[in-house]
Chain A
Amino acid sequence: MRSPRSPALAIAWEFRQRHRWGLIAVAGYLLVVATIRFLILEPGEPVLVDSLRFAAVVSVPLTTTFVYLLTVFSFGFAGDLAARQSIYPPRMFTLPVTTAALAGWPMLYGTAATAILWLAARLFAVWPSGTEIPVIWPALLAATLLAWTQALTWMPYGLPGLRVIVAVLCLAALDTVVLLAIHYKATERLMVAILAPQIPLAYLAARFAVARARRGDVPDWRGMFARLGQIAEDLPRRRDRFPSPARAQLWFEWRRHGRSLPALVGILLPFELALLWLAKDAPAFVFEILFLAFITPPFMAAFTAWTVSQPNPQVRDSWGVPPFIATRPLTSAELIAAKLKMAMWSTLAAWLLVLVAMPLALEWSGTWSVVTERARRMNDAIGTPRAATVVLLILAGFIVATWKQLVQSLHIGLTGREWIVKGSVLLTLTFLILLGPIVEWIIDTPSVQRALWNALPLILAGLVGLKMSAAARIATRLDRSRLLGDCALVAGAACWVLAVLALYGVLVWFFSTPFVARYVLALIAILVVPLARISAAPLALAWNRHR
């Protein structure tokens, strides 16, 4: 292999070499959309694409790719966004290269890559006929967003976490300006005039940021909060013994991961519920806001789960179990049990926030009557017991969904194998991309709907068969590897059966209709109560812990 002869080529080589598989995937995606456009569709054929299909084929992959490029060229995969220090790799500061080059080359490559991404998508992707898709300014917007992201993330900050706040605010402000310009139908020339000067400005900011980071000039404003820190210091800390190693491990997991979900929900909830003050005269909007608040915990849990399932998110090699944890005299099953319990407490804390804040916001915003009116109508329609059951079931469903989001990917992340984690992310993305068109196809085709409805028991039985055979295989492995004792396996199975029976009982009581057979309800109950994936988590951790 020939070695690059200039700093510019060396920096480019590093980006290419390190992210070659991702960049190949991006090229593959563009090839697929180009094939659809130029080989499958006839020239001049009108393209009538609905929003769902367009989102699946163009919007979602394009946005994902853009975010990926943003992370690559900002060095976001290796840096700590929450740290005060710049996320620019410090090892590069000792290279015999000017600061202008250190800031300039990654910015040039990044802005070029994002602009090319847009131009390629504009040229190759299938866009709905009759819509005028601009060429220049979206490319400039992508380049500008990237350049400012680089400048803002490379800057050292005085407080931990400030980088995220500043970056979000600045990028949101830039987005707002662009959205306003679109709203008022600004011409392409005006858009270019707004966006083009941003790139040199961002470059100057990035050069300043890299220069400061290079000379170790990291401001420290934590002294301003010293008094708060002193108060925290003075608070009594528990010094008594943990009653058991399992409790100590639960404390460890809670301190490391447990507070993230309640904190995220606590940050978002006030903004969401503040909308209730705007919705006094629009009852439908009130329920949309409440729905938004209800889906916040499970939605945020999906993000938090990423760190929960990583054995050691604090370090760069976050996949392997750190020796400190791996050498705890606990079984892998006990380590997993601590994570499951932490997830439960974290879920309950997040929901406690929602359930306390929601009635208060409804009361103070004067929208409580909208909810009570809807409750009264529901009460009249289906009776108090059923109405109460519906509400409790929905609430329980959201709470269980939150907990499930937190723990369902443990068996992937804890394997410690990067290829499994990345493969599962790829499969999930592919599934999500395909889901839209398939659902659309089913909705649009009554014959398919009929066939699916007729085959529903068979499909459910097949899924149950898959789930139970996977669970049986996992139970056998758990037993053979002695990760779980016989008593624990039997107790776990008994708890699962009880949960399934309880859910089945509720479903039978609620859906007392001849249109849904009871065995279908039983199959649904079996599928809904988690079993196989959670049972696989101790095996995954043991595979990682004892490599």
Chain B
Amino acid sequence: MINVSELTRRFGATTALASVSLSMPRGAVYGLVGANGAGKTTLIKHVLGLLRAESGSVRVFGLDPVADPVGVLSRIGYLSEEHDLPGWMRLDELIRYSRAFYPAWDDAYAEELRRAFALDPTAKIKNLSKGENARAGLLIALAYRPELLVLDEPSSGLDPIVRRDILGAIIRTIADEGRTVLFSSHLLGEVEQVADHVTMIHQGTIALSAPLDAIKESHRCLTVRFAESRREPPAVAGVLRWDGGGQEWTAVHRGGSGELQAAVAGWGARIVAERLPSLDEIFVAHVGMAAASAPDA
């Protein structure tokens, strides 16, 4: 469905995307996570054709979104993080205007969504709250049952009820067989709830891209108790991040934990807890500050 190959994008001296390659087959939910300025929105804008690939290529449904905007955009539902619906329109005008572009527009479904989102059809967009504005955007992105739903930071700045609506929309889209969702978010708990596949972007490169289950299975969170208090944790291959202090330190480790267990035994320490880390912990371990480590004495 989406094929990004060796995509590089620079804005002046800043490299927003550096040789990014990505392939998203049909029928799954892709969570795009990364810190502010990591390149998530830049990647989404390339998928929509709002940015032209400087080098590399982007194909959506096998088409170039810049060369064939009609072919691509008529099959995509998009909710912008900017919530930039025209303020002068009333909701019913927005619906009337939007449905002209999509032959598959489903009036009954649009009305169902409008009622579910409790939106007043006569209300002007500029008078809607931020949450209502997001719901209105979601309504026009969903009402034609697009093959690909793209949500750019859909939950940003919204209350839990609107966030629940957005998650519900994603789940509804998944329920429609063969449809795909690409969404970027800071709220990793939400990504964890609905994503099948997670791609972490860090400083314009892909730090990690794999099915969510595989990511969680390949990481461990271990709490280590040392015999003596330490000012800095030891450096061990595979440990992405250490947190803690004194005698007790917690490591987020990637790969098999055998090497870490052997090292722990060598230090005279012991592992007091071991669990699967949350996506949030994995994200911070990959793209947060580098693990503070020191050569083991």
Contact = CB atoms under 8 A, between A and B. Distances in A.
Interface of A: 233, 237-239, 241-242, 244-245, 247-248, 251-252, 255-256, 314-315, 321-324, 326-332, 481-482, 545-547
B100 A327 contact: no
Given A241-B99, A546-B49, A323 B84 contact: yes
Given A239-B92, A546-B66, A327 B73 contact: yes
B141 to A, nearest CB: 10
Interface of B: 48-52, 66-67, 69-70, 72-74, 76, 78, 80, 82, 84-90, 92-93, 96-97, 99-102, 122
B100 A248 contact: yes
Contacts of A329: 69-70, 72-74, 101-102
Contacts of B88: 255-256, 314
B44 to A, nearest CB: 10
Interface residues of chain A: helix, strand, loop or mixed (majority): loop
A482 B67 CA distance: 7
A248 B99 CA distance: 9
18 contacts: A233-B122, A238-B96, A242-B100, A247-B100, A315-B84, A323-B48, A323-B82, A327-B73, A327-B80, A328-B101, A329-B69, A329-B70, A329-B73, A329-B74, A330-B70, A545-B69, A546-B52, A547-B51
B84 A324 contact: yes
B97 A252 contact: yes
Contacts of A245: 100-101
B196 to A, nearest CB: 25
A252 B97 CA distance: 8
The B contact surface, by secondary structure, is: loop
Contacts of A315: 84
Shortest beta-carbon contacts, A-B, top 3: A248-B100, A329-B74, A242-B100
Contacts of B67: 481-482
Nearest to A321: B50
A547 B100 CA distance: 26
B86 A324 contact: yes
Contact of B97 (A237, A248, A332, A482): A248
A497 B254 CA distance: 70
A6 to B, nearest CB: 33
Contacts of A321: 50
Contact of B78 (A241, A327, A330): A327
Nearest to A314: B87
Contacts of A328: 73, 101
A330 B48 CA distance: 13
A241 B100 contact: yes
Contact of B69 (A241, A324, A331): A331
A322 B82 CA distance: 9
A331 B80 contact: no
Nearest to B70: A329
Contacts of B52: 546-547
Given A314-B87, A323-B84, A330-B69, 13 more contacts: A241-B96, A242-B96, A255-B89, A256-B88, A315-B84, A322-B82, A323-B78, A326-B48, A326-B50, A328-B101, A329-B72, A330-B101, A481-B67
A239 B101 contact: no
A191 to B, nearest CB: 46
Contacts of B86: 252, 256, 314, 324
A244 B99 CA distance: 10
A285 B185 CA distance: 68
B101 A545 contact: no
A242 B101 CA distance: 9
B152 to A, nearest CB: 8
A245 B99 CA distance: 9
Given A233-B122, A256-B88, A322-B84, A248 B101 contact: yes
